[in-house]
Amino acid sequence: MSRRVVVTGMGGLCCLGETLPAIWNSCLKGKAHVAQTPRRWAKFNKFKSTLWAPLPAIDYAARGIPRVDIMRTDPVTLNMCITVSEALENAGLVPQRLEASHQYAIPAIDPQRTGVYMGTAVGGVNSTFKNHSHMLLHRNKPELDNLLDEESKHALAFSEWQYPKRLNGFIVPMLMPNAVSAYVAIKYSLIGPNVTTSLACAAGTSAIGQAYRAIQQGQIDTAICGGSEYLNDEYGSSFKGFDAAGTLTTSNDSPETANRPFDAKRNGFLFSEGGAATLILEEYQSAKARGANILGEICGYGESFDAYNMMRPEPSGSQAAIAVNNAIVDSGLSHRDIGYINTHGTGTLANDETEANLIGQCFAHNPLVTATKSLTGHMIGASGALETAISLLSLQQGMSHGILNLEEPIADLNFCVGTQSTNAEFGLTQSFAFGGHNIALVVGKAN
């Protein structure tokens, strides 16, 4: 049995805005958000890159999240929950508050036939670092305060040694990656399959693909799926890891043009503080029966593994091509049906070279090629989920955002420079992750 899987709701959160319409509007205007990293980080370490894409300040209480949940839940999960709420509203699925509880039910769907599939690369790393700093400093800093003279304290930026005053008793559920899916299911009383994927930069894309497959094969009828990441911490530890690996842009004096996927002058990706995106997937007949507004369709899913290197793509792109080809075969379409491609497009030397060659070899008919990360930066495990939502909006509205700062393309492809119209009926979005994971999704216009 193979069933059609449609998208009926979407939500998003990233450096460009706190809702998907705000993000989409910024994309079409070619507006990125790049800033200098927090100054206090430099007091503890040296960084080759000093640029990132910070999130807007988020008022969780104003979003209806209870104070107790804010205190015992990592931002990676809270941000996921914000986009779930937007996606449910977008889908016309109205939650009803259960009496004397912070939980909800969604009457229009069967909780046993509804799965939650979420992706995150690292989960609650912010909470991990915070509580680790407590363990390190809560006894030692007061003792050092008595031992050090004022000159030494100034030299060590002693006043900036920040840490929580107590260990959070909920640290375990805060840091565990599966909280991003478990929290959502608990909040909405959903007892179907509950899955978290942690395939690095491909986590969100994989989660959507697995949700699609479960509906396609009849295991469930509805899925809440997507990805979330939050990589800020008081000392810039997450950022430093990527910086030390040499993956981040070092064009520190040119923040507006530092992020440039597929350009000859690219020198690394723009690190994003985080983000999240959610899609509501439904079996076509079920969605039609409840009168849902269909936004698009997930048509095919493919994956493969390089078995080459933990941090570099296999140069020939042969395994990545298998993931793309598998997705297209799964969709029942041909390569020529793909009129739009939203790339992984990180801006690193190795990824862009391999990906450009892959597209040139697989798609001789020159489909329109764009890169959402040129505007959002790299949100790691959340990127693929947001890129899937942007791809569906592009097909639905017949418009594609351009690739920012693309001045000297590294390949003769049909790169989208500036906002352009598109009549594509089907598109492809692809993610290639550290470790060697390759994921591709074929998406379709609502029909």
Q: Which residues are catalytic?
A: 201, 344, 378
The token pair at 110 is: 């069967």
Phi, psi torsion values for 61, nearest 5 degrees: -65, -40
CA–CA distance, 341 with 414 (Å, rounded to integer) = 10
CA–CA distance, 275 with 78 (Å, rounded to integer) = 10
Q: Angle formed by the axes of helices 237-244 and 125-137, to 10°?
A: 110
Is the Cβ–Cβ distance between 79 and 60 less than 8 Å? no
> Cα dihedral angle (254, 255, 261, 266), rounded to 10 degrees?
30
Q: What angle do CA 282, 300, 286 make, to 5 degrees?
A: 15
Helix, strand, coil in percent for the chain, rounding step 5: 40, 20, 40
CA–CA distance, 345 with 378 (Å, rounded to integer) = 9
Residue 420's SS3 state is strand
Is the Cβ–Cβ distance between 76 and 272 less than 8 Å? no
Greatest Cα pair distance, the chain, in angstroms, is 74
> For 152-179, b where at least 16 C-beta lie within 10 A, e where not — what string?
eeeeeeeeebebeeeebebbebbbbbbb
Is the Cβ–Cβ distance between 38 and 109 less than 8 Å? no
Beta bridge partners of 7: 281, 296
Is the Cβ–Cβ distance between 301 and 324 less than 8 Å? no
Cβ atoms within 10 Å of 120's Cβ, excluding its own: 35
